[in-house]
Amino acid sequence: MTKSILIYPQLEFAKVQIPTPPYSILFIADYLLKRNVDVELFDLRFDDESQVLNAISDKEPEFIGVSVMTGPQIQYAIKICELIKKEFKNIKIVWGGVHATILPTQTLQNNLIDYVIRGEGEKTYHELVSGRNLNHINGLSYKKEKKIIHNPDSAILTNLEINELSIPWTLIKPHRYILNGSFNAITSRGCPFRCAFCYNTLFNNVWRGWTAERCIQELDRCLDFGVKKITFYDDYFFANSKRIEDLFTYFKERDIKWKAELRVNRLNFALAQDAKKHGCTQMYFGAESGSQRVLNLLNKNITTNDIIESAKITKNADLSADYSWMIGIPGENKADREKTIHLIKKIKKINPESEFSIKILFPYPGTGIYNLAQQKGFKPPSNLFDWSKIRRDRASNYLKNKTQLETISLTSAIIGRKVFELKNIPILKLIRILAEFRWNHEFFGFGVENFYFKIFRDLIDKLMSRRNSAGYDPFTHELVSVKEN
Ligand code: B12
Ligand code: SF4
């Protein structure tokens, strides 16, 4: 029987949020299981590296698959691959996920990695582990006589194939991913829009999703495990109105509280009111910028007026909203940034229940914004290790006023989040007073707290990586304890 092991490496701040199940490898595992491949799965946010090594000794699989996204996860992925290769020299290591898809050549230049699977992994990985001739495997990149070969792209899964996939719960411990009844779900893939900074422009640009009936089958299992509140991580949850209508009925019947993302210009009062009536507690929006010029540059296809309208609508429907903004966009100037801050303040006035965060844009290769960033002097990391240092709250080297941008981002994380309103925790209160001063006076110079934050975050990450730690419940805005058996 063909055997394989799939690994989801550690993440930074893994336990601050509700851990999302490792869907990337879960769906691949489900595809393999249904085709009689013996598959075992390790989530290194919980499992120990020694468990992986023991499983390899027991099973002696030919291939190990590792899922990797750009940023800190790379360093943990490298670490586990080093450990594996040290003990099992002949084992073949396969990297998949968004990072390896964007940069297959650079990824394969690392000696630890034998194969890269670009795009959706289900079919390609199955063909690889089943021993198909390498030349015939679409979506595969590999090394041959010191050359790197990229086979043609694979076809994405059809809607029917997506509907045949389910979450193979027996391979994971469900309670790990449920915090205080909250759970993160994904019911679809892809997004038809073309925002210039988004991976979807090169990866996942056709929407496919579970039907309402399939969603209900999968979500019913989650309810059996005690789930009451669901955050949908779909890129385009509201793509199909009939599906949404049926899901709304289900949410109401089962008293499920939920959150999901919507484009600001797809919201209307009837939808907001309906969502609220059917258990929606918050909608999140990619607002990105308060400058129309920058929104156009990002090919966002929304107006600042759409953003303002969305705040009025959510306010009138008594619905909370979470807005995600970006700064450090190539081509953005100081005036654009000020417009963003002013628009955020306006939104907060219109809907005081809304939350927000400001991230610093990182130009990923292959996205529309990447060329523009290169013209402005952006030099992408040239190896995997340097890619692992990329952080959402750290400004890239080519940007001017890096500390100021980072201070704006850090301030927004404090001002914009309900968790910092927990006034009974003295340290949070102090941090909030300083952030409020900065925000109200729009004074982001002398970012000393940013310096200390960088030291502090490394420390916190080490502590948070332990088994039992505090997590943040985004529904109740409470700090809760994450327990691991
Ligand atoms: C949920 C989520 C998270 C969760 C964690 C995910 C988890 N499982 O725990 C959280 C919130 C923690 C998170 C954090 C980050 N995330 Co995130 N996240 C997502 C999100 C919304 C869903 C991921 C998912 O499950 N997708 C569904 C699965 C089925 O799709 P998939 O992961 O692409 O997997 C398929 C293929 O990629 C491939 N594949 C994947 N792995 C493997 C492995 C093998 C062996 C093979 C063969 C194939 C393969 O096959 C899979 C099935 O077809 C995606 C956006 C999206 N919709 O995908 C962003 C996304 C993956 N995140 C992204 C990023 C950048 C981050 C951060 C690194 C941001 C940052 N710079 O700080 C942080 C990580 C910080 C940290 N804490 O370390 C980017 C990745 C871009 C990139 N270049 O890698 C995405 C695409 C968002 C975006 N629009 O840019 N994220
Ligand atoms: S709408 Fe969201 S998911 Fe879709 S392309 Fe734009 S940023 Fe990406």
User: Does 16 fall in a domain?
Assistant: yes
- Ligand 1 atom with the shortest distance to the CA of 28: 52
Pocket test for ligand 1, best of 92, 98, 236 (most atoms within 8 A of CB): 98
**pLDDT value of residue 15:** 58
69 alpha carbon – ligand 1 mean position (Å): 6
Ligand 1 in reach of 122 Cβ (< 6 A): yes
**pLDDT value of residue 483:** 47
Pocket test for ligand 2, best of 98, 186, 189, 198 (most atoms within 8 A of CB): 198
In angstroms, the CA 241 to CA 225 distance is: 28
The structure tokens 């099973």 sit at: 59
User: Does 204 fall in a domain?
Assistant: no
**Residue range of the domain that includes 100:** 3-150
| CATH number of the domain bearing residue 30 | 3.40.50.280
Ligand 2 in reach of 286 Cβ (< 6 A): yes
259 alpha carbon – ligand 1 mean position (Å): 19
Helix (H) or strand (E) holding 3: strand 3-8
| 150 backbone dihedrals φ, ψ, rounded to 5° | -115, 110
Ligand 2 in reach of 193 Cβ (< 6 A): yes
In angstroms, the CA 456 to CA 213 distance is: 46
User: Does 313 fall in a domain?
Assistant: no
| 476 backbone dihedrals φ, ψ, rounded to 5° | -95, -10
The structure tokens 């990586």 sit at: 465
User: Does 337 fall in a domain?
Assistant: no
CB atoms within 10 A of CB 212: 19
User: Does 364 fall in a domain?
Assistant: no
Taking only Cα atoms into account, the Rg of the chain, rounded to an integer number of angstroms, comes to: 22
Pocket test for ligand 2, best of 98, 186, 189, 195 (most atoms within 8 A of CB): 195
Measured CA angle at 380 (ends 285, 206), to 5 deg: 40
Protein residue whose Cα sits closest to atom 30 of ligand 1: 24
Protein residue whose Cα sits closest to atom 77 of ligand 1: 12
- Ligand 2 atom with the shortest distance to the CA of 261: 2
98 alpha carbon – ligand 1 mean position (Å): 7
What tens-digit pLDDT sequence spans the chain (485 residues)?
A: 899 999 999 987 665 678 999 999 999 999 999 999 999 999 999 999 999 999 999 999 999 999 999 988 999 999 999 999 999 999 999 999 999 999 999 999 999 999 999 999 999 999 999 999 999 999 999 999 989 999 999 999 999 999 999 999 999 999 999 999 999 999 999 999 999 999 887 777 899 999 999 999 999 999 999 999 999 999 999 999 999 999 999 999 999 999 999 999 999 999 999 999 999 999 999 999 999 999 999 999 999 999 999 999 999 999 999 999 999 999 999 999 999 999 999 999 999 999 999 999 999 988 989 999 999 999 999 989 889 888 877 888 899 889 899 999 999 998 998 777 766 777 778 888 889 999 999 999 877 777 777 777 667 666 655 433 444 455 555 544 444 44
175 alpha carbon – ligand 2 mean position (Å): 30
User: Does 375 fall in a domain?
Assistant: no
pTM: 0.93
429 alpha carbon – ligand 2 mean position (Å): 35
Asked if 311 and 354 count as a contact pair (C-beta separation under 8 A), the reply is: yes
In angstroms, the CA 145 to CA 446 distance is: 53
Ligand 2 in reach of 200 Cβ (< 6 A): yes
309 alpha carbon – ligand 1 mean position (Å): 30
CA 158, 160, 161, 162 dihedral sign is: positive
Secondary structure in 3-state letters for 122-171: HHHHHHHHCCCCHHHCCCEEEEECCEEEECCCCCCCCHHHHHHCCCCHHH
**pLDDT value of residue 467:** 37
Pocket test for ligand 2, best of 186, 188, 193 (most atoms within 8 A of CB): 193
Pick from 372, 288, 285, 368: nearest CA to 326? 288
- Ligand 2 atom with the shortest distance to the CA of 235: 3
User: Does 177 fall in a domain?
Assistant: no
Measured CA angle at 254 (ends 250, 255), to 5 deg: 110
- Find all residues with CB under 8 Å of 277, minimum gap 6, and list them: 252
**pLDDT value of residue 462:** 63
The structure tokens 């952006």 sit at: 378
Torsion of CA 286, 292, 296, 297, to 10 degrees: -90
Ligand 1 in reach of 117 Cβ (< 6 A): yes
- Ligand 1 atom with the shortest distance to the CA of 234: 57
Tally of domains within the chain: 1
**pLDDT value of residue 425:** 73
At 298, list the tokens. 């990002």
User: Does 46 fall in a domain?
Assistant: yes
Ligand 1 in reach of 120 Cβ (< 6 A): yes
Pocket test for ligand 1, best of 18, 44, 69, 141 (most atoms within 8 A of CB): 69
At 92, list the tokens. 């073949």
295 alpha carbon – ligand 2 mean position (Å): 13
Ligand nearest to the CA of 302: 2
